[in-house]
Amino acid sequence: MVKRKQKPDKVLGHDPFEGMDLEWLDQEQDLDQEEIESAPGEAEAEPVLSTAEGPVLEQVIERKLLPAATFHFPADFKWGVATAAHQVEGNNTNNDWWDWEQEEGHIKNGYQSGLACNWWEDAEADFNRAAGLGLNALRLSVEWSRVEPRPGEFDDSALARYGEMLQGLRERNIEPMVTLHHFSNPRWLAEQGGWEDPETVALFARFACRVVKSLGEYCDLWCTINEPNVYGYTGYLEGARPPGQSDLRTAMRVIRHLLAGHAAAYREIHALQPQARVGFAHNMRIFDPANPRSPLDRRAARTVDKVYNQAILTALTRGRWTLPLGFGLAWKLRRTLDWIGLNYYTRDLVAFDRTQRQALFSRRLHANDAELLDGGYGEFYPRGMFRCLQRLARLGLPIYVTENGVPDDDDDQRPRYLLAHLHQMWRAIQRCYPVMGYYHWTLVDNFEWDDGWTLRFGLIALDPETQARTVRRSAELYARVVRANAIPSQIVDTYAPKLRAELLPG
Ligand code: BGC
């Protein structure tokens, strides 16, 4: 096995990549030099031509004919990965998700989160892996049920553990982004009505305040709430997640309370930490009309887009409730975003369907020629990344891509998915859209909510039984992009040659 470079060992005293095949990391050093130093169009021709024999020579000539180019990212760009407490920590026994997992039929194949990725005990082992990939950013969440196990009772030892994690990230030159609410709630809160109850807004603000008091020393980049739309729709309309309800009005009330919770937390955080940068993570999907020539399909797509994507943005940026969230002013929500987070994965085509009253007379489908992602996760549609960024740029706020990724156990789609989406993000940056960073979902396979362990989003594969990790090729690819702070065409040729024609036409 090839020996690892020194940096992480020096800091941490042991080899974080122990037992992994690391040949690629050392090859990457050579490639990086070429990528950074060689001028486009004349990549590495000289040395190889003077020494190589026939077949190599042919290869070089062939490569010389292909135009080389490099898509550079801004110097201070943040490259990270994103996770959430319940999905990685393990043994989160005191929240509503733990209870939900115990009931048959809730999680695919009866899976449970169990030890998850064992982060509560040893997140640091994966932080080492993140540092080994060259990342300078990591998004994680704090688990409310650990910090406040009983109403009004805060657990200092839990806060200390989070402090230790954040400090550990800083020591590895990784900037933490902390999410305060990522789907899970303390059991006591769920029992007293959770986000249906307007009282929860103040309770959340109190919790946020306590967290910032303890962890503000290590973090000033806060994400209040993850995906209010996904939380509201999956838990209160589709009934697929806790508390398993199916009522549109309740779903809307819950989303309104989440937005109010965001605004209240925003103010608490700024009162304690004036320099804080506070935002939230918005899940956006692209909804295009199934038949662009059909006015009914166009209208159906617009409606679904307003309901899913726009209503929340309008509330938080203009301070106005629009349908389906309600009517009237929401002044308290205004000026509560220092940045906005985009979680982008896929798109849907929308057709008008008069039989689907519950679904706003719409039906979602995929284009006939669409490439589908594994696990029924939708269409491979990288341009959606650009379109969402374009739309968010109009809000005039800094943007972070707080999530983007694909479930792909055998890693046959992820390299192309990753490069194609990064390229679309690069295009957005070329237009001066203020994209500050990218957090890939996710570092290590984790507990994928109601899909249990059936969907594997990690750059690193995990066997949840043995906790063994195996680095996927995509991790190697991401590390190369991060180290070059760019997408050089050599990386496209190596990992996703099919993309060349699209990225480098001609
Ligand atoms: C959520 C993550 C989830 C990911 C992949 C996002 O909606 O924030 O928690 O794992 O999608 O499904």
Please tell me the distance from the alpha carbon of residue 39 to that of residue 32, in angstroms, as a whole number: 13
Confidence bin at 360 (pLDDT 50/70/90): confident
User: To test the ligand 1 pocket, which listed residue (373, 441, 443) has its Cβ within 8 A of the most ligand atoms?
Assistant: 441
DSSP state of 358: T
Q: How far, in Å, from the CA of 68 to the mean position of ligand 1?
A: 35
> Distance between CA atoms of 109 and 99, rounded to whole angstroms?
16
Cα 283 to ligand 1 centroid, rounded to whole Å: 9
Indicate whether residue 230 lines ligand 1 (CB < 6 A).
yes
- The reply to whether ligand 1 has any atom less than 6 angstroms from the CB of 343 is yes
Distance, in Å, from the CA atom of 244 to the CA atom of 225, rounded to the nearest integer, reads: 20
Per-residue burial over 238-259, b = 16 or more CB atoms within 10 Å of its CB, e = otherwise: eeebbbeeeeeebbbbbbbbbb
Q: How many CB atoms lie within 10 A of CB 465?
A: 9
Q: Is the CB–ligand 1 distance for residue 82 below 6 Å?
A: no
341, 231, 365: which is closest to 287 by C-alpha?
Answer: 365
DSSP 185: -
Pick the residue whose CA is nearest to atom 12 on ligand 1.
Answer: 448
**Mean model confidence pLDDT for the chain:** 89
Tokens found for residue 319: 């301070």
Cα 403 to ligand 1 centre (Å): 8
Q: Which residue, among 380, 365, 453, has the nearest Cα to 415 in the 3D structure?
A: 380
Q: Which residue has the tokens 């024999």?
A: 53
293: left (phi over 0), alpha (psi -120 to 50) or beta: alpha
Q: Reply yes or no on whether the pLDDT at 172 is more than 50.
A: yes
Query: Quick one: which atom of ligand 1 is closest to the CA of 281?
Result: 8
What's the whole-number mean pLDDT along residues 62-77?
Answer: 82
Q: Which of 6-15, 66-75, 163-172, 298-307 has the lowest mean pLDDT?
A: 6-15
> Tokens in use for 383?
């341009």
Say how many Å lie between the CA of residue 275 and the centre of ligand 1: 29
Question: Does residue 403 line the site of ligand 1, with CB under 6 A?
Answer: yes
Instruction: Please state the atom number of ligand 1 nearest to the C-alpha of residue 283.
Output: 7
Consecutive H or E run containing 286: strand 277-289
d(CA 266, CA 263): 5
The 10s digit of each residue's pLDDT in 485-498 is 999 999 999 999 99
At residue 38, the pLDDT reads: 31
Q: Would the pLDDT of 24 be above 50?
A: no
CA-proximal residue: ligand 1, atom 5 (nearest)? 448
Q: What is the pTM of this model?
A: 0.88
